[in-house]
Amino acid sequence: MEIDARHPIRTITRMDTVTAALVVQFLVSVAFNLMGSFMPLFISSEFNETLIGATGWTGASSFVASTIMAITAPFWGWMCDRVGTKKVLLVVLAGNIVVYSGMAFSTNVLQIVFFRALQGGFGGISTVMFAIVASAVPSRDLKKALSYQMAAMTMGGLVSPGIGGVMASLIGYRLTMVASAILFVLIFPVVVKLTLPPPAGRDVDAKSFDFSDFKSLIPDIVALILVYVCISFIAPAISWFLASLGVPDDQLLLWTAAATILNGIAFAIATPMLTNAVNDRTLPLLSVGAAAAIMATAFVFNPIQFIALRIVIGGIQAGIPPNLLGGRSGRKGTGMGFLNSARFLGMAIGPIMATTILGDGVPPRPLYMYSVMAIISMVAAVFIYATHRKKEPEEKET
């Protein structure tokens, strides 16, 4: 469907639900990630921290935000079932406007941690978007639909850090954060005009989410935690690692943005392709391949090699999350909330674990960091193989 440039909101409201969810997810992801390439540099320059110290604070703030997101995601999923996805989406959009405005005017690093924690409390956007998709497509198409949703999320995330890096170099870090808040404001009228599925709670025939539903999700929850530990661990240490490879201080922002963007491009392009190409039997091979590429990163000696491996890792890991998120049919908002909680928990553990192992950055600590993450990726492969290899025959019988 072509978008009328003169009336973009009117055009989006005429889209089907899944397409509209893709558009909103992309815009939200852009707003969410404008600061993605420069947070350690922002903390270092604005609050007189060393770069390694700022890297540690970035990892800590990410841990706090993602942990709280993990705690609150099931709640937002349950709210989607009770009151409807549109109302929930508007609430979390408003919360993020407050968060990014607050970070833009912060005066010390503890305020950054506070607003990142608040962001965790309002971090239900992806949960809501997954719930929208799960309610709008047949169960047989859920993996494919979620793969496109995650590709849109990743595309926004990869475009945004580059744009944010350019904006930060032109107007400064703080005004770039203000731009994120403004973009969330602009998304508001788009969401207001959308027609979204009614909450499941209004359907008298709808079955409530119960313990048996949760029990069936446990293998996917554990696998998602392990996988996202490996996906997210390097994020706060990219700038430091590039500096250790000889990138000058005045080029760190550019190289960090490039590494983030190219990794995201590989992830976004590969997500739909691999989701369709792999099944539960071959899924563990992706985690094995990621482990090998993660370990190889410890032995690079220039930034080009580092970025090349980031591209490889992004492409390999891309097919795993949609297959885990959409592996079982009949996902309700609450179920998607628990699955998204697992994503957030992995995203919390990975960065803080990596920065803790990295410590002061003196060798062989970087080698230890990559070794631990490679081992976790291998554990994920073994776990996925052990818990998912019998799923396909069972699903064919039902």
Q: 53-106, pLDDT tens digit by residue?
A: 888 898 888 889 888 988 999 999 889 888 888 889 999 999 999 999 999 999
- CB-based contacts of 328, cutoff 8 Å, min separation 6: 216, 217, 220
Mean predicted lDDT score pLDDT of the chain? 85
Query: For position 392, what pLDDT does the model report?
Result: 47
Query: For position 66, what pLDDT does the model report?
Result: 85
pLDDT by residue (tens digit) across 297-306?
A: 999 999 999 9
In the chain, what are the domains? 10-194+214-393 (1.20.1250.20)
3-state secondary structure (DSSP) of residue 236: helix
Give residue 262's pLDDT band: very low, low, confident or very high (50, 70, 90): confident
**pLDDT above 60 for 7:** no
Q: Which two tokens stand for residue 379?
A: 């554990």
Closest CA to 227 of 137, 327, 141: 327
pLDDT by residue (tens digit) across 11-57?
A: 444 457 788 888 889 999 999 888 876 888 899 989 988 888 888 89
Give residue 227's pLDDT band: very low, low, confident or very high (50, 70, 90): very high
pLDDT by residue (tens digit) across 126-154?
A: 888 888 888 778 877 888 888 889 888 87
**pLDDT above 90 for 243:** yes
Q: Which of 10-14, 133-137, 283-287, 310-314 has the lowest mean pLDDT?
A: 10-14
Eight-state DSSP code of residue 84: -
* CA angle, residues 158, 160, 164, in degrees to nearest 5: 130
One-letter amino acid for residue 239 of the chain = S
Query: For position 207, what pLDDT does the model report?
Result: 65
Which one is predicted more confidently, 204 or 213?
213
Q: Which of 164-173, 287-296, 305-314, 361-370 has the lowest mean pLDDT?
A: 164-173
Count of residues for the chain? 398
Give residue 330's pLDDT band: very low, low, confident or very high (50, 70, 90): very low
Average pLDDT over residues 155-178: 85
Residue 294, CA atoms < 13 Å, CB-side half-sphere? 28
- CB-based contacts of 304, cutoff 8 Å, min separation 6: none
**pLDDT above 70 for 233:** yes
Look-up: residue for tokens 């912060």? 106
Average pLDDT over residues 202-209: 58
Give residue 5's pLDDT band: very low, low, confident or very high (50, 70, 90): very low
